[in-house]
């Protein structure tokens, strides 16, 4: 079976992810150059990328149907981890999202994204013969709700939205009747308006700053976004060169190795370089969608589609923040931004897609 898995292994997908990860390490190194307090993060990212590549290969060789038998266990473990974060988690930037594990911080909410793709895929697969009515919808919502509640309490609005987007995407692929689409759209707008007063002050401020920017701001979200736009514009067509962006190297651009690494990339490699990197990410998403079509069953299709939606949504949101199209969030640019938990969860997702492709019904290109 392992020989067959290697035979159908998607080396194009694997190669694109590896290239993005290596490029991400290079960008992180440039973004934090000269900042002694952050230098160790480059080495940490290298370690996580190596582990992530091993995870991709290992998970890709395991039959994805095996994870269905562990669905309930994974569900219980992720809820337990999120509960531990709530009790003894490490706080940063006004939120408690990390568990201290030796020299690194682990963010369970990142792992929760892929775990919930597996859990929801298994749930929808087991209930595929059920009537597609509101009862079916709310039962699936209860499944993800037990995880979302702990992420809301951190608070972590961005990952809460990611999980709800994943739930709705898998709900749609599993057979959500079209008559409910408009109902959910209206409900989503209403809920967004109603929950605004209950958001954390810094979350409210991000939205207010986006809607009513202060041109005289010298700090905070408005300053960061303004500097991001200046940084992107400074790159021009071909960029200022690796390690030569004044906006990046002189540290006018903040959180440049995480939330705003897209801006740093645009400054150093310009429009052309940015398009190439975005093309690589789109290629990865396309190969995941190809796995949806090739999958031999609904369970595999749901897994691959969930990973494709996760990559698409995070990429769109991260770039949207950098271009000041949406309020500031903490979502990473897949495979490029700094973040060990993010790298491990995304490479785990790609490994699952590789497993689906390796066991598809027919070999196609």
Structure token pair of residue 129: 């013969």
DSSP structural state of residue 65: T
Rounded to two decimals, what is the model's pTM?
Answer: 0.90
Stated as kind and residue range, the H or E segment containing 97 is strand 95-101
What is the mean pLDDT of the segment spanning 261-284?
Answer: 96
pLDDT at 69 over 70: yes
Cβ burial of 77 (10 Å; 0-12, 13-18, 19+) is middle
Q: What residue spans define the domains of the chain?
A: 2-358
The answer to whether 240 and 273 are in contact (CB under 8 A) is: no
**DSSP string covering 261-272, please?**
HHHHHHHHHHHH
pLDDT at 60: 93
Other beta carbons within 10 Å of 50 = 12
> Three-state SS for 35?
coil
Q: Of 233, 288, 259, 239, whose CA–CA distance to 13 is shortest?
A: 288
Bridge pairing between strands 104-106 and 90-92: unpaired
Strand partners, 100: 105
The answer to whether 148 and 164 are in contact (CB under 8 A) is: yes
204-263 pLDDT per residue, tens: 777 877 777 766 666 666 778 888 899 999 989 999 999 888 888 888 888 888 889 999
Strand partners, 105: 100
Q: How far apart are CA 273 and CA 11, in angstroms?
A: 23
What is the mean pLDDT of the segment spanning 49-54?
Answer: 96
Q: How far apart are CA 365 and CA 363, in angstroms?
A: 7
107-133 pLDDT per residue, tens: 888 999 999 999 999 999 999 999 888
Q: Best-predicted range by mean pLDDT among 30-39, 247-256, 328-337?
A: 328-337
Q: Longest C-alpha distance within the chain, in Å?
A: 63
- Main-chain dihedrals φ then ψ at residue 121, nearest 5 degrees: -60, -40
CA distance between the termini of the chain: 21
């Amino acid at each position: 079976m392992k020989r067959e898995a290697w035979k159908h292994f998607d080396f194009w997908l694997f190669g694109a992810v590896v290239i993005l990860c290596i490029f991400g390490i290079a960008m992180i190194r440039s973004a934090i150059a000269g900042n002694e307090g952050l230098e160790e993060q480059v080495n940490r990212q290298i370690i996580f990328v190596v582990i992530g590549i091993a995870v991709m290969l290992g998970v890709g060789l395991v039959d994805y149907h095996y994870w269905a038998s562990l669905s309930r266990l994974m569900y219980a473990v992720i809820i337990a981890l999120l509960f531990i974060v709530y009790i003894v988690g490490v706080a940063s930037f006004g939120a408690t999202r990390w568990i201290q594990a030796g020299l690194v911080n682990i963010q369970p909410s990142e792992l929760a994204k892929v775990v919930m793709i597996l859990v929801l895929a298994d749930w929808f697969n087991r209930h595929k013969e059920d009537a597609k009515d509101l009862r079916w919808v709310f039962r699936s919502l209860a499944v993800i709700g037990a995880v979302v509640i702990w992420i809301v309490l951190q608070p972590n609005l961005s990952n809460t939205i990611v999980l709800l987007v994943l739930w709705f995407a898998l709900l749609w692929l599993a057979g959500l009747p079209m008559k409910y689409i408009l109902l959910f759209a209206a409900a989503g707008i209403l809920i967004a308006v109603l929950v605004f007063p209950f958001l954390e002050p810094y979350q409210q401020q991000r939205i207010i700053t986006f809607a009513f920017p202060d041109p005289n701001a010298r700090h905070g979200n408005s300053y960061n976004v303004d500097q991001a736009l200046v940084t992107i514009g400074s790159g021009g067509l071909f960029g200022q060169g690796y390690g030569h962006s004044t906006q990046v190297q002189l540290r006018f651009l903040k959180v440049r190795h995480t939330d705003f690494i897209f801006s740093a990339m645009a400054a150093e490699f310009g429009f052309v370089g940015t398009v190439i990197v975005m093309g690589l990410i789109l290629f990865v998403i396309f190969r995941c969608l190809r796995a949806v079509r090739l999958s031999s069953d609904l369970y595999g299709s749901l897994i691959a589609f969930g990973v494709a939606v996760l990559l698409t949504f995070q990429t769109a949101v991260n770039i949207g923040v950098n271009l000041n199209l949406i309020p500031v969030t903490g979502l990473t640019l897949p495979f490029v931004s700094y973040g060990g938990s993010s790298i491990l969860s995304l490479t785990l997702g790609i490994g699952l897609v590789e497993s689906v492709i390796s066991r598809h019904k027919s070999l196609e290109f």
